[in-house]
Amino acid sequence: MRLKYAACILFFYVSGAGFCLAQPVDKNATKETRKLYKNLNKFIKRGIMFGHQDDMAYGVGWRDVEGRSDIKEVAGEYPAVFGWEVAGLEKDAALNIDSIPFTKMKQYIRQVYDMGLVNTMTWHLDNPFNGKSAWDTKQVSLPAILPGGSKHQLYNTWLDKLGVFLLDLKGSDGKPIPILFRPYHELTGSWFWWGRDLCTPQEFKQLWIYTYNYLQNKGIHNLIYVYNTGSVKTMDAFMERYPGDAYVDMVSCDAYDSNSKGPDSRFVTETDKSLTIVEQAGKLHNKIPALAETGYEAIPYSEWWTNVFWKAIENHKLSYVLVWRNAGYQPENKKHHYYAPYKGSNSEKDFLELINTKPLLLQKKVQKKNIYK
């Protein structure tokens, strides 16, 4: 075992990319899920897959238009990775929290799979103690859903509903669609009810392991499990709530810019540091690294893509990066809410320069590799 582990680490340093990975932690993972897992690792040698949240569902100034995508209209092709959100399933809602019908979401997920591209999923599930949103942190809630807790059976019913949705995700080939599942994300922050100040490390680990085992027992074997933090400064902070190698396939962080006015940015330094830690954790624990969420709201700096975003990630070997959603103008907040370029936006030209000159992978390059076969 020690020789095999040493060989894996040696392979990483000699090749400069790639991890010595055999299969997902789920020993019963579907064939397509195992193939995707293998290819996520192999793609690190070729570049970083680029993703966008809710890409086909809506964009700046439009919603639910067949075949439309802000990324596609700018770049001439879809992104490689598509992010989806399933909050609302737990309360039998017809729409998720971003007003996408779950029936329509299934169609989008199937379309992505049929195109040979990648789906990833988050779950901003409600606070189980009081039924308020995931952002309600006034009530310490997580211990209540653990075995023996007052809301444990409620949580089981939520997992059952999630399981029904996941089991119904089938491609046109009839096969279960692999999903990069990123539950309880940004766990090192305290803006969600599962965050750092709302539970102990042991309680969080117990929740993760319980959730993993419950979904396994439901017969769900098309998930690749993604551990995710916010920005971090130390390895100890990143690993404090890590549930163990037997329950995690990928390691990742989220990092958002909020103050870049030019090429010299705190975001570059902080994100580079966080990604260094994520990569180191990936090497030590044999997990695939990623930047699971990133972006700059309304992208006020027109050269942000080449002078800030790329500088933050260029020295890292990552599976994918994903920018957040393009909700457009929000009258209630009187501001624009978008993180990817759209046709006519101020950063469109700079984004095109980025994807034409840097090793970022969009639809066409990923499709050629038949990642599920």
pLDDT-derived band of residue 5, with 50, 70 and 90 as boundaries?
A: very low
Residue 131 lies in a domain: yes
What is the Cα–Cα distance from 93 to 99, expressed in whole angstroms?
Answer: 10
Mean pLDDT of the chain: 93
300 pLDDT exceeds 50?
yes
269: left (phi over 0), alpha (psi -120 to 50) or beta: alpha
141 pLDDT exceeds 50?
yes
169 pLDDT exceeds 90?
yes
pLDDT digits (tens, 9 = 90+) for 246-260: 999 999 999 999 987
Residue 25: name the closest of 212, 281, 249, 241 by CA: 249
Instruction: Please compute the mean of the pLDDT values over residues 196-208 and round it to a whole number.
Output: 97
pLDDT digits (tens, 9 = 90+) for 14-70: 444 445 566 899 999 999 999 999 999 999 999 999 999 999 999 999 999 999 999
Residue 272 lies in a domain: yes
Instruction: Please compute the mean of the pLDDT values over residues 182-202 and round it to a whole number.
Output: 97
pLDDT at 139: 84
Residue 305 lies in a domain: yes
Residue 53 lies in a domain: yes
311: left (phi over 0), alpha (psi -120 to 50) or beta: alpha
pLDDT digits (tens, 9 = 90+) for 214-265: 999 999 999 999 999 999 999 999 999 999 999 999 999 999 999 877 776 8
The DSSP element (H or E) to which 5 belongs, if any, is helix 2-15
Structure tokens at 368: 């050629």
Number of domains in the chain: 1
pLDDT digits (tens, 9 = 90+) for 77-133: 999 999 999 999 999 999 999 999 999 999 999 999 999 999 999 999 999 989 999
Dihedrals phi, psi of 8, to nearest 5 degrees: -60, -45
DSSP 186: S
By the 8 A CB rule, do 83 and 291 touch? Answer: no
Structural Rg of the chain based on CA atoms: 20
What is the Cα–Cα distance from 320 to 308, expressed in whole angstroms?
Answer: 17
Residue 145, domain extent: 20-367
pLDDT at 7: 43
pLDDT-derived band of residue 140, with 50, 70 and 90 as boundaries?
A: confident
Q: 364 vs 19, 116, 133, 158, 304, CA distance in Å?
A: 24, 10, 38, 37, 24
10 pLDDT exceeds 80?
no
pLDDT digits (tens, 9 = 90+) for 305-360: 999 999 999 999 999 999 999 999 888 888 899 999 999 999 999 999 999 999 99
pLDDT at 1: 40
Residues 188/189/191/196 CA torsion (nearest 10 deg): 50
What is the Cα–Cα distance from 69 to 117, expressed in whole angstroms?
Answer: 15
Residue 192 lies in a domain: yes
Helix (H, G, I), strand (E, B) or coil at 74: helix
pLDDT at 261: 79
pLDDT at 3: 44
Residue 263 lies in a domain: yes
Residue 13 lies in a domain: no
Residue 29 lies in a domain: yes
pLDDT at 19: 54
Q: Output the domain CATH number for residue 360.
A: 3.20.20.80
What is the Cα–Cα distance from 63 to 86, expressed in whole angstroms?
Answer: 18
Classify each residue of 83-95 as buried b or exposed e, where b means 16 or more C-beta atoms within 10 Å of its C-beta.
bbbbbbbbeeeee
- Alpha helices per DSSP H over 44-189: 70-75, 102-114, 142-145, 152-167
pLDDT at 265: 86
